[in-house]
Each structure stands twice: as C-alpha cells, then as structure tokens.
Amino acid sequence: MTSSRSNSLISFLRSTRLTILVLILLGILSIIGTIVIQRGTDEEMHIPEVYSPRTIRIFNAVGWFDIYHSPLYSGLMSLLALNLILCIWHRLPKDLHWHRVALQGPIPESMDRMRGTRSIELKRGSPGPVESVHDALRTLGYRVRTAGEGEIAAVRGFSGRIGFYIAHLGILIILLGGVISALMSVEGILWMAPGDQTRYFTSTNGQKKELGFTLLCENFTVEYYDGKAEGMPKEFRSDLVINPGTDLEFTVPLRVNHPLSFAGYRLYQASYSPIGARRVEFQIQIGNDDRRRISLEIPGQHETVLDSGGLLRIETVSFEPDFIRDESGKAGSRSHQLRNPAVQIRITEADQPPSTHWLFLKYPDFHGMNQDAGHSIRFTGLTPLFATGIEVARDPGASIIWIGSSILVAGLILTFLIFPHRIGIKIQPGTALLVSGAGMKQSGQLEPAIEAVVRQISAELRADIESMRRSEDG
Amino acid sequence: MDDSTLNQIAMVFYMAASLVFLYRFSDNKHKPGKVPMGLTWSGFCVQTVAFIWRWIASYRHGFGHAPLSNRYESVIFFSWSVVAMFLIFDRFLPLRRFGGFIVVLGAVGIASTSIIPGADSTITPLIPALQSNWLFFHVVTCFLGYSAFAIAFFAGIMSLARQGVGANVESSEIIRNLDLIMYRTVMSGFILLTLGIISGSAWAYNAWGRYWGWDPKEVWSLITWFVYAVFLHARVTRGWSGKRLAWISVVGFIFVLFTFLGVNYLPIFKGLHTYA
C-alpha cells in the first residue's frame, strides 16, 4: 500500500506533467516580477508611494518584492531539477536497453507494433534479397543485423537519443552554476575619483572585502560623439594603476565591455557619476560695459583682473556639488550629484581685506557681494569632475554556466538534427519484403525515413536483376 | 539612393509576392509555383543589399557598427529575418502554400517603420555598453528565433482555422503537415532563442560582471523559453497534436511579441533594451 503510494508519487515527480506545471508556475511568478517593483532596482524607493501599507505587508510576506529570490521561486527551480534528475534516472536504462537490443538481441518488437509498413514486391527469380537489403541499409548509414529467420533489423541515429540526455544535463549544470553563483559570488561597486587609491571594496551585502592588490585611479575620461550625435558618450575609461609604487606596478585602461581579470577578481567599467567640478567659469562685469570671462581650476587657482578701483584678485576656495547649510550655518553637500553646484571664492581688492562669497550656478544673481563695488561676478558654467564606477566581481558560477550552456545547445542540436529510429524488414520468400519502422512519431520523420529505405532497397534489387540478366545474356 | 529606398523596393517585392501567394492560396487548384518565390527572393536580395549598404554607411558616419541597434534597424531586421527563415524552411517543410502570410509580414515590417514611434531611419552611434562583438550574434540569433516562432504562429493559425475553434480534432494530411511545420519551426526557434539568451548573458557578463540580472527583457525571454519548452514537451512526450498544439504555438508568439516590443511599455521597464 505505502510502496504503491510512494511509487505513484515518484512517477508524478518524474512526469512531464510536473515539468509543464512547474514551467507554467515559474512563468506566472516571473511575470509578476516584471509588474511588481522589485527591491534592489532603481524603482525600489517608489514602493511606499505605489502600494498601500497593507499591500506592502502582504507582498513582503509572500516575497513578491524580491520574487526571483523568494523561497517559492527557488523551490520551484529545485523541483524542476528534481524532476529532471528523476526523469533521466528513469529513462536512461530504457534507452540503453533500446540500443543494446536494437543491435544484438532478437527484434525487440514484433513487426506488428512497428508503423508505416510498406511492401516491396519481389520479382520472380531475383537473387537472395537479404544481401541487397543489407547493402541498401548500410548505404543509408544504418547499423544492420539479421535478426532471425527472414528478419532484418537496422538502427540509426542513436546520438539523437543521447541528445535528450545531453540537453537536460546542460540545464542541470546551468542550475548548479546558478546555485554556486548565489552562494559564492562576490560583487561590489567601487567609486573612485581621479587620484583615489584603495585596497578594499564594499560588496553589495555591505561587507568590506580586501582586493589583494592596490588600485589607483589615475584618471577618468569621457569621450563624446560629435556631429549629429553630439553629447552622447562614445567611450568612458578609467586609467588604472595596479600596485602603484611597487616593482609589480602596471598601468591599464579599463573600458566598457573590456573587463580586466586580476588576482581572482574581474574589474568592469560599469558607470560614472559627476561628483564635483574640475573647472568653474565666471563672468565678471566691471562698470557697465566691460565684461569678461575667466575659468579657474578647483580649488585654489586665482586670477587677477583690473577693476576701476585697482586690482581685483579672484581665487577659488571650495566647491559643493549639492549645496546646503546645516543648523550651525556650515556649508556642505546634500549629495554627490550636481544638483545645486556652488563655488566659494575669495576676493581681494587693492586696499580692502579679503572677503569670501558663495556663488551658485543655478541662481547666478544671488550673492552676498557688495553691490556698490563697481563689479559683479556670476558663476556661469563648470566642467564636471567624474568619479568612475568600477564593478568588482568574483563569480565561480559563471564558468559552470558557460559549460552548461554549451552542453545544452549541443544536446538541442543533436535532438533536432538526428532522428533516432529503427527499421524492421521481413522477407516473405519469393513474394515481398515488408518494411516498417519505429521512432518518435511526433517528429514526422519516420515516413520519409521508411520511404528512403524502400527506394534504396528497390534500386539495389533492380541493379541485382539487371546484373543477373546481363550475366545470363552474356 | 540610401538603404531606406532599397527597403521600400524590397517591400514592393514582398507585397507582390504575397498577393500572388494569397491569390493562389485562395484558389485550391493552383500551386504557389515559381512566380511568388522569385518575387520573394528578389525582395530578399534587395533587402540584404540594403543591410550591407547601411552597415558600410555607418562607417562613413564614423560609427561603424552592424545596423542592429535602434528601433528602426531592429524592425527592418525582423522583416529580413522572417523572410530568411521562410526561404530556409521552404526547402525542408511543406509551407509554401501559406507563404503569403509570412512574406506579407516582411512587407508589413518595413511599412511599419514609418508609423512606429521612435523608428527613425537616421544612423545613430552606439553607447559604450552596446559596442561589443556580441551585438551581432545576440541580435541575429534572437531575431531568427523570433522569425521561426512567427512561422510556427501562422501554422498554428492555419491549423485552428481549418479545424474550427469548437470542432473535433481532424486528423487530415494537412493538419499533420501543419503539426510537423510547427514542431520543426518551434524546435529551430527554441535552439536560436537559447543561443540568443546565452549570448545575451555572455555579453552582460562581459559588460557588467553578471550573466543574469533579472531585467524585464531577460525575464520575458526566459518566460518565452518556458512557453516553447512546454510546447516541445507537450508534443514530444505527451503526444499533443492538432488544435491543442496549435494553441500553444499561437499563444507562444504573443509572448515573443511581448518580449520583442511589449516589454518596453512595462511601467517599470528601464534598461539597455529600450530600442529593441
């Protein structure tokens, strides 16, 4: 009783019905994942606006905000793997048996159970057809044997049958690679401004990891297209120095799509972000008509211009990309983004003590300068300073994925191209040959295969009769 | 003359071919014959020249990339690949009789570039992430796969039209042929889609260090892969045929279209695939 129940459970677990069911469920969950905002994406911050607190509680409980890593999704994937393993386990002995029997044993199935029977009429007095049949089948690439009295068995395309196993093995290896990646891969993004140097990076789960080498970002450049596509980035690259100042030092450019492998890690040019300014531009108006532009580096470059009242020295002091003042009135930045760029300058006029002022790119007319001074300075533009975003990753699952993928494709191609089937031939002495076949009927390839065999045998028989006649005539 | 003019000429050829195909389809006495095949081949050659033409022209602009990058180029290439797949399958499968339905898709593809929003025929450069040798292989395998599924879709529609939505399954020669066409085209499409997904992940791995990121395009391509995996298992293991099989083939193509075009309209969609 129990054993029959467990048997029926096992036969369900290995059934194609379960495969189809699991694939449909995975499909539905995947669709949900492309409709519900997922954590870890850029949209994550909109979750509280889009969903009610109740919905958020429910979705959290069922794991819909991170559906691809939810227990249900992983569970279905595991069930799929189990299903594949059991199915292979169940089918493999049968197929090996099929192969052995087809080549050595008695004809495995009676001719009645084969399909597509065609008959070839034997001309009276034709020589022993057995040899002609053997020749015809061999010409077509079959492995042939005489099975019993007047019976010939032939088989072709065993590798097509193996294709099934190869393809499914490939999928299992891919799933294994996915598990290994999930458990063992390490990744993180390293933001570096030109001149930064580090031996560590922070992984996505917040751990501080040692690189095993020193990384210096010497420079970061963005190259833009010109002409019609002006302003669109053409290339961005970081000039990196690995182990600077040691005997092992070397410089290497890191570009998009050209990762760098070093000491077990792979480095990718992933993105970039403006964090400040390299240069700032000012427009200085002296009197009513004298207008000039100056461009200064940040920080600490200065330039002196001639004012009506004497010399005017302008020096950059500091820069904030997203200006804000805290409670104590101290200047700082809310973020690294260039949301409210502000530059602090120091102005020295001939006979007065130096004064510092904040100028804002977005509010060029707002400044605390003395309006009577006979000059005004406006902050009009900047050349951004970028930090480079370098993805650091180590993923032992990746190479397993590539192996699995290759195996999967090879298996699919074998299944697709090669049609495994058997041909059974019964000789009814003096009257006819019956040709039948067995193979996967769904692919519609059995009938053409039988047709080809019939044509080849008929040709061989005709040739035999011809040559016999000729020898009789001669 | 530029490539879009050549594409217009190809479109005229495809239109003419489909008209002849459909005329002979509607009249059961006629076989499709050589005329519509000749017209299809002519259009296909012209469109192939247009493709190469545009590729060379992109070098003149200083960009130098295969014309497979923006929405205009991807729709044009889909039109080319669906005709290419028809011409290939025609050698092995009895699908010439309803060739009109497939070739007209090539014409509709080209025509639609003038109404699809954002399908602009100017040659544009590639952002850095798209500058990769994987671009060609990834796009070509995906699109040839989509095209194979398009042919399976038409075979499914034919099969359903013949059997009537409510009638019993008819096991005629024609239905068996349509089953065979569906099975072979879906199997080819499945291999091509598999290659497309794998090359996409190899590319992602090379660009960002991860082979799978659950981006909606990736997810939908996986869902489509599941749907056709179901088709193959239903057919091969469970022996489905006729109407039931035709339904999977038809529904499967809706998933293909959503993966190809629809994903871009998902509310949360963002990513590198917005153009294709």
A424 versus A443: the higher-pLDDT residue is A424
Chain B stretch 226-265, residues whose beta carbon is closer than 8 A to a beta carbon of chain A:
226-227, 229-230, 233-239, 241, 263
What number is the average pLDDT over the span B106-135?
86
Output phi, psi for B214, to 5 deg.
55, 35
Q: Which residues, at least 6 apart from A372, have a Cβ–Cβ distance to it below 8 Å? A: none
Of B91, B119, B147, which residue sits at a domain end? B119
Same domain, B190 and B104: no
Q: Which of A23, A31, A34, A91 to mutate to test the interface with B (most CBs of B within 10 A)?
A: A34
pLDDT tens per residue, range B85-96: 999 999 988 888
Same domain, B145 and B113: no
Instruction: Look at residue B53 and tell me if it is in a domain.
Output: yes
Same domain, B97 and B187: no
Instruction: Look at residue B124 and tell me if it is in a domain.
Output: no
pLDDT of residue A1: 46
DSSP A37: P
Same domain, B144 and B53: no
Instruction: Look at residue B242 and tell me if it is in a domain.
Output: yes
Number of domains, chain B: 2
From CA B188, how far away is CA B184, in angstroms rounded? 6
Instruction: Tell me the shortest Cα–Cα distance from A120 to chain B, in angstroms.
Output: 24
Q: Which residues, at least 6 apart from A303, have a Cβ–Cβ distance to it below 8 Å? A: A294, A296, A313, A314
Question: Which residues of chain A does B194 touch, with a Cβ-Cβ cutoff of 8 Å?
Answer: 408-409, 412
Same domain, B21 and B139: no
From CA B229, how far away is CA B246, in angstroms rounded? 14
B14 versus A385: the higher-pLDDT residue is B14
**Which residue in chain B is spatially nearest to A21 when comparing CA positions?**
B230
A241-264 exposure pattern, b = at least 16 Cβ within 10 A, e = fewer: bbbbeeeeeeeeebebbbbbebee
Same domain, B81 and B210: no
pLDDT tens per residue, range A88-112: 999 888 888 777 766 665 454 555 6
Same domain, B219 and B271: yes
- Is the pLDDT reported for residue B272 higher than 80? no
pLDDT tens per residue, range A187-218: 998 999 888 999 999 988 888 999 999 999 99
Instruction: Tell me the shortest Cα–Cα distance from A214 to chain B, in angstroms.
Output: 20
Give residue B105's identity as a one-letter amino acid code. L
Q: Do A408 and B194 touch (CB under 8 A)?
A: yes
What number is the average pLDDT over the span B26-53?
89
Q: Do B234 and A20 touch (CB under 8 A)?
A: yes
Of B71, B99, B119, which residue sits at a domain end? B119
pTM of the predicted structure, to 2 decimals: 0.85
Range of the domain at B35: 1-119
Instruction: Look at residue B25 and tell me if it is in a domain.
Output: yes
Same domain, B99 and B138: no
Same domain, B267 and B152: yes
Same domain, B192 and B241: yes
Same domain, B27 and B145: no
pLDDT of residue B276: 40
Question: Which residues of chain A does B198 touch, with a Cβ-Cβ cutoff of 8 Å?
Answer: 405, 408-409
Instruction: Look at residue B202 and tell me if it is in a domain.
Output: yes
Of B84, B119, B154, which residue sits at a domain end? B119
Same domain, B145 and B274: yes
What number is the average pLDDT over the span B117-139?
85
Question: Which residues of chain B does A415 touch, with a Cβ-Cβ cutoff of 8 Å?
Answer: 187
Instruction: Look at residue B125 and tell me if it is in a domain.
Output: no
